[in-house]
Amino acid sequence: MAIRTRITQLLGIEAPIVQGGMMWVGRAELAAAVSNAGGLGMLTTLTQPTPDELRREIERCRSLTDRPFGVNLTILPSVNPPPYADYRDAIIDSGIKIVETAGSRPQAFVEAFKAAGVVVLHKCTSVRHAVSAEQMGVDVISIDGFECAGHPGEDDVPGLVLIPATADNIRIPIIASGGLGDGRGLAAALALGAEGINMGTRFCATVEAPIHENVKQFIVNNDERATHLIFRRFKNTGRVAKNSISDEVVAISSRPGAEFEDIRPLVAGQRGRAALEEGDVEAGLIWAGQVQGLIHDIPTCEALISRIVAEAETIIRGRLSRVLHLGQDSVGKHAIG
């Protein structure tokens, strides 16, 4: 592996590839496998029911890898919010040195993490939010294009525009997120101004992902059209895989006067968890991005990361170099003629 960027240097990793923090998926076995393969694995805080269980999951991950890994903390407004501050303290007390934050109003959390010497990656879906996060003091921006799984924001700007637009407006390193799953994506992200990539859906279709094989094969069988945008009506857009549940959510939400309560039973997190763990892909929402169209196998994390880096190197050193030389030859021949 020979691709070195500000991200590999800052995070102490070999490949500029970060695993997304995914609910019910970001557990120790996947995070450790990604880190052992040279990337940055990521535990998902809210997958753990309590701060003490998060502490235990952090220790379990340490028993599986001696390489850097991080913890994702997504902060969302809620009528009955989880104990975010207690989770934050558990992360700091456990000696975690890399955290990915996401969600609304993270400043107090960012300040606490920074005071504890933690490197903070913050996930954003717009340039303006990236600028605000940089001013807040985060170390890295993970910029999420419209292609992504999860919540792509409300601006509908794809990565091809959003990544370079963000690079034009901030100085700290950028990780590109959304629609990335192979070496072409890594090479493109680097060309657009990012220092690495973040992958979520792609890591779901790996041997070590702690989800049912039916779900992994479901992702492989899907194409780039097999997603729905849900919650648009409620200004909280989310991208999920197409199945009977997301079909119904879209249909109900499109009715005049529809309210969130009308779909709440369908989108319950426990239904999605059951789908992932039991393998019934029609049991609940399965969060997945348009990158499904680029996923054709279920490799180990080590094989996937090695392949992505090798593909990117071939593109950068080979194909692009040949294009440049061909362009120079063409100019020379034209000048001679």
Sign of CA pseudo-dihedral 293, 296, 300, 305: negative
Strands 174-177 and 140-144: parallel
Which domains can be identified in the chain, with CATH numbers? 6-210 (3.20.20.70), 216-290 (no CATH)
Average pLDDT score, the chain: 95
Report the 10 Å Cβ neighbour count for 86: 13
Q: Is the pLDDT of residue 333 over 60?
A: no
Please give the Cα distance from 42 to 280 (Å, whole number). Answer: 25
| pLDDT at site 76 | 85
What's the pLDDT band for 326 if we cut at 50, 70, 90? low
What's the pLDDT band for 337 if we cut at 50, 70, 90? very low
Q: Does 333 or 289 have the greater pLDDT score?
A: 289
Q: Is the pLDDT of residue 1 over 60?
A: no
What's the pLDDT band for 330 if we cut at 50, 70, 90? low
| pLDDT at site 334 | 53
| pLDDT at site 329 | 58
Mean pLDDT of 258-279: 96
Q: Token pair for residue 244?
A: 């009977």
SS3 call for 41? strand
Mean pLDDT of 317-334: 67
Mean pLDDT of 278-296: 98
Burial of 318 (0-12, 13-18, 19+ CB in 10 A): exposed
Q: What is the pLDDT of residues 104-159, one digit of tens each?
A: 889 999 999 999 999 999 999 999 999 999 999 999 999 999 999 999 999 999 99
Contacts of 328 (CB under 8 A, 6+ apart): none
| pLDDT at site 205 | 98
What are the Cα distances from residue 36, in Å, to 28, 180, 227, 303, 305? Answer: 12, 20, 31, 11, 10
| pLDDT at site 267 | 96
* Whether 252 contacts 262, CB under 8 Å: yes
φ and ψ of 123, to 5 deg: -85, 130
- Percent of the chain exceeding pLDDT 90 equals 91
Burial of 160 (0-12, 13-18, 19+ CB in 10 A): middle
Please give the Cα distance from 223 to 80 (Å, whole number). Answer: 37
Q: Is the pLDDT of residue 269 over 70?
A: yes
Q: What is the pLDDT of residues 32-64, one digit of tens each?
A: 999 999 999 999 999 999 999 999 999 999 999
Q: What is the pLDDT of residues 304-321, one digit of tens each?
A: 999 999 999 999 998 777
By 3-state DSSP, what share of the chain in percent is helix, strand and coil, each rounded to 5? 50, 15, 35
* Whether 137 contacts 122, CB under 8 Å: no
Please give the Cα distance from 176 to 255 (Å, whole number). Answer: 35
Mean pLDDT of 256-279: 96
Please give the Cα distance from 95 to 92 (Å, whole number). Answer: 5
